[in-house]
Chains A and B, each alone.
Chain A
Amino acid sequence: MRNVSAKQTQKLAMAGIWGGGVITLLLLIVIIGYVLIQGLPGINWEFLSTNPKGGLSGEGGILSTVVSTLYLIGITLVLLVPIGIGSAVYLSEYAPNNRLTRIIRYGIETLAGIPSIIFGLFGYALFVTVLSFNFSILSGALTLVCLLLPTMITTTEEALKAVSYSYREAALALGTTKWQMISRIVLPSAIPGIVTAVILCIGRAIGETACLYVTMGGSAAMPSSLLEGGRTLSLHVFYLAMETNAMDKAMATAAVLIIIIILINALTNLLAGRFQKRLKGIS
């Protein structure tokens, strides 16, 4: 009897696990499919190659918002990734297990849970006002760095900690310095996890609206420098949906946004693969 019930439990569990998987996949397909079906007809060369006209009409294309988004993501990553990896390496490899470290770690975890608009207000106060970067892509990027650092650090630290201790021992026992061990063995082995961290951050950066609204402004004009304001794709979707009647354009913009996310993820994976091979000296 016991056997039968154990088997039934297993069947039930399997059904639950499969069900969860199928629902997740369906949701993904439905959302992406809906946006693409609604949005793709609105995408044409004119839409991609002209700037939004601004105002309440919703007329015009999305060129400047794509450029602003890519600028913003680029600057954010250039600052975020080295600082994030550096902090994670410190916490996972160097920081002694004492009270200060625990406080730092607790602080990072707390920061990760703070709503993004709070970071927006902070960015507005510090970058826009005090440092006089005004409403600009730079202010937005710096705010995003603050917002995303906790995620970047904790995810990277997890990836570093997942690297087997036996690799570290083996490297040190060969007479490498600690830094050689970290840079040649630990970091390369952790690259898949670090890529996950970067992709997570890119995803959040692309999706942010509120905290960018108060640091980048919402100018639809083409930015000519980092110190000029801009409007990201997400922000543009928000504008189009809430303040104009151009729902078709909102959907088309959303479709472009999704395509860009997929492309960036693919590119990140490709680069990480190359980088990992080079670090390990396989290429």
Chain B
Amino acid sequence: MTEYNFNGQNCRGDKIKAKNLNFYYGSFQALRDINLDIPGCAITAIIGPSGCGKSSFLRLLNRMNDLIYGSRIEGTIELDGKNIFDRDVDVVELRKNVGMVFQKPNPFPISIFDNIAFGPKQHGKKSKIELEEIVESSLKKAALWDEVKDKLGQSALALSGGQQQRLCIARVLSVEPEVILMDEPCSALDPMATLKIEDLMRTLAKNYTIIIVTHNMQQAARVSDTTAFFMMEPDRAGSLVEYGSTSEIFTNPKDKRTEDYITGRFG
């Protein structure tokens, strides 16, 4: 597990390390003993059947699960060597650094410009010129600029689903994160829009660490460098079955369960 298919080569090494991670909703254990090292500047796909805890895992990485009453964590997740659950970690800073794109495109019901400017504004950037620069560069990075540059004042809700999702990606990019989490970002999109997002992900992976949860195995195979396969144990706790380079997982899985899943025998 040392040979990663890197894109950028400028950020070699593991960006995120989950160690002995257990996660509970109340008394229900959602994740058991997850150990997973995620390479920087690459795309890691998390696949597995419904309810296997892959979204729960993803949402631990920016501590969105903090919002869930009664959730509890054991073990550590290190981002650049620092445990994100340490007391001195500011969760607001963490989320700025680890952005998230959701399953359903969720632009705010305000203008395109204001959607992108929202994050930087809340983080203290007030100058109009600076905000305009951020909006333009974020939209360009998200491959949306050419489509919206003449209607930045219009409501973001008037965009198509695929455009909305790229807007959400641009919104994440506006606060300059290093890691981008994507929770089934294409499940609400048509194939053309999906393709555009996947192209965009490949481009972004040169400079960002991307972790994508997906139900779509073809998507994982097309887009990711490494793939983690999660599954439910008999008590419904999710665990990591197999992890490796995407080509290895899809062509030569070591675990029988992985093989059964990717060949469509269940899930």
Contacts and interface: CB of A to CB of B under 8 A. Distances in A.
A, B in one complex = yes
Interface of A: 96-97, 164, 166-167, 169-177, 180, 184-185, 189, 280-282
Interface in B111-129: 111, 114, 117-119, 121-123
A174 B114 contact: no
Given A166-B102, A282-B111, A173 B92 contact: no
Contact of A174 (B69, B107, B110, B118): B118
B96 A174 contact: yes
A166 B106 contact: yes
Nearest to B100: A173
The 3 nearest A-B residue pairs measured at CB: A175-B96, A166-B106, A173-B100
25 contacts: A166-B106, A167-B108, A167-B109, A169-B106, A170-B102, A170-B106, A170-B108, A172-B64, A172-B95, A173-B64, A173-B95, A173-B100, A173-B172, A174-B118, A174-B172, A174-B175, A175-B94, A175-B175, A184-B122, A185-B118, A189-B108, A280-B111, A281-B110, A281-B114, A282-B114
A173 B108 contact: no
A282 B115 CA distance: 11
Given A96-B69, A170-B168, A175 B123 contact: yes
A62 to B, nearest CB: 44
Nearest to A181: B122
A185 B118 CA distance: 10
Interface in B88-109: 92-97, 99-100, 102, 104, 106-109
Interface residues of B, number: 32
A189 B109 CA distance: 8
A170 B116 CA distance: 12
Nearest to A168: B67
Contact of B119 (A164, A174, A177): A174
Nearest to A282: B111
Q: Which of B64, B95, B107 has the largest count of A CB atoms less than 10 A from its CB?
A: B95
Given A96-B69, A169-B106, A170-B106, A175 B119 contact: yes
Given A176-B92, A176-B122, A281-B121, 9 more contacts: A166-B104, A175-B94, A175-B95, A176-B119, A184-B118, A189-B109, A280-B111, A280-B114, A282-B111
B17 interface: no
B215 interface: no
A62 B193 CA distance: 66
Interface of B: 62, 64, 67, 69, 92-97, 99-100, 102, 104, 106-111, 114, 117-119, 121-123, 153, 168, 171-172, 175
A97 B69 contact: yes
A280 B110 contact: yes
Contacts of A177: 92, 122
Contacts of A171: 108, 118
A173 B118 contact: no
Contacts of B100: 169, 173
A173 B118 CA distance: 12
Contacts of B111: 280, 282
